[in-house]
């Protein structure tokens, strides 16, 4: 497995992985449809942000995308192909993302997680700091907000 900068030409493959990974939690198809826009990775979005993918035998099996907003660095996307889950790919991409944030001089990374993925981020060392309130089909939906403390460049390499 290697981690490489994502090519904007890979937009369709990344979009497919984001949809497949989200479906993995068993959400109704109409919910997946309502999230289509945020699960669609457009070439320009990939190019303008810090986007890296994990490749195995030439095939993309996961990716992440970091965005910079007024309030700092956000892990906006992290998705692993269902067939590749549970093999440490998410951990490897997460560590890579932290290294990128560190090189860019950020001291924290914000994450708005799917409720099913919050445990993964906690396992990676992120702390829950609140919730983001959204709505689906007229019902409130709470998304855990987490914060990861990025080591400074002086702290040296992460273990
Ligand atoms: C959540 C996700 C990114 C994890 O990636 P992964 O490659 O399957 O995870 P890894 O194999 O690297 O797991 C690393 C560790 O986290 C744990 N872990 C993985 N997924 C977890 C979860 N959903 N909840 C709690 N712990 C989890 C693993 O057990 C492992 O623990 P260990 O340190 O004891 O070995 C991936 O399953 C995924 O894409 N899920 C669906 C989409 C999604 O919701 N993505 C996040 C959007 S906010």
pLDDT tens sequence for the chain (159 residues): 999 999 999 999 999 999 999 999 999 999 999 999 999 999 999 999 999 999 999 999 999 999 999 999 999 999 999 999 999 999 999 999 999 999 999 999 999 999 999 999 999 999 999 999 999 988 999 999 999 999 987 665 554
- For residue 89, the ligand 1 atom closest to its alpha carbon is 7
Residue 52: closest CA among 6, 103, 109, 102: 6
Pick the CATH number of 2-155 from 3.40.50.980, 1.10.101.10, 3.40.630.30, 3.40.50.300: 3.40.630.30
137's tokens: 């089909």
pLDDT at position 14, please? 98
Residue 156 is predicted with a pLDDT of 56
Looking at residue 152, its pLDDT comes to: 84
**DSSP characters over 76-108:** EEEEE-GGGTTSSHHHHHHHHHHHHHHHTT-SE
Residue 158, pLDDT score:
52
**Cα(6) to centroid(ligand 1), Å:** 21
Per-residue confidence (pLDDT) for residue 99, from 0 to 100: 97
CA angle centred on 91, ends 89 and 92, rounded to 5°: 65
Q: What are phi and psi of 71, to 5 degrees?
A: -95, 15
What local confidence, expressed as pLDDT, does residue 76 receive?
A: 97
Cβ proximity of 76 and 65 under 8 Å? yes
The whole model's pTM is what? 0.95
Residue identified by tokens 């992985």 is: 17
Decide the pairing of beta strands 50-56 and 127-136: unpaired
Place of tokens 């906690």: 122
CA 132 to CA 136: how far, in whole Å? Answer: 13
Q: Residues enclosing ligand 1, CB less than 6 A?
A: 21-22, 24, 78-80, 85-91, 113-114, 116-117, 119-120, 123
Report domain extents, the chain. Answer: 2-155
d(CA 131, CA 9): 34
**Residue 91 CA, ligand 1 centroid: distance in Å:** 7
In angstroms, the CA 152 to CA 40 distance is 32
The pLDDT of residue 149? 97
Q: Measured in angstroms, how far is the CA atom of residue 90 from the centroid of ligand 1?
A: 6
User: What's the 74 CA to ligand 1 centre distance in angstroms?
Assistant: 18
């Amino acid at each position: 497995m290697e981690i490489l900068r994502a090519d904007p030409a890979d937009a369709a493959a990344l979009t497919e992985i984001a949809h497949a990974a989200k479906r993995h939690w068993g959400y109704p198809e109409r919910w997946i449809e309502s999230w289509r826009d945020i699960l669609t990775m457009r070439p320009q979005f990939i190019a303008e942000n810090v986007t890296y993918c994990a490749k195995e035998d030439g095939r993309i099996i996961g990716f992440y995308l970091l965005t910079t907003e007024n309030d700092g660095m956000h892990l906006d996307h992290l998705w692993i192909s269902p067939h590749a889950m549970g093999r440490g790919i998410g951990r490897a991409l997460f560590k890579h993302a932290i290294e990128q944030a560190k090189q860019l001089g950020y001291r924290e990374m914000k994450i708005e997680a799917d409720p099913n993925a919050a445990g993964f981020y906690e396992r990676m060392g992120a702390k829950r700091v609140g919730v983001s309130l959204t709505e689906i089909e007229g019902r409130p939906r709470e998304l855990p907000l987490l914060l990861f403390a990025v080591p400074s460049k002086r702290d040296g390499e992460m273990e």
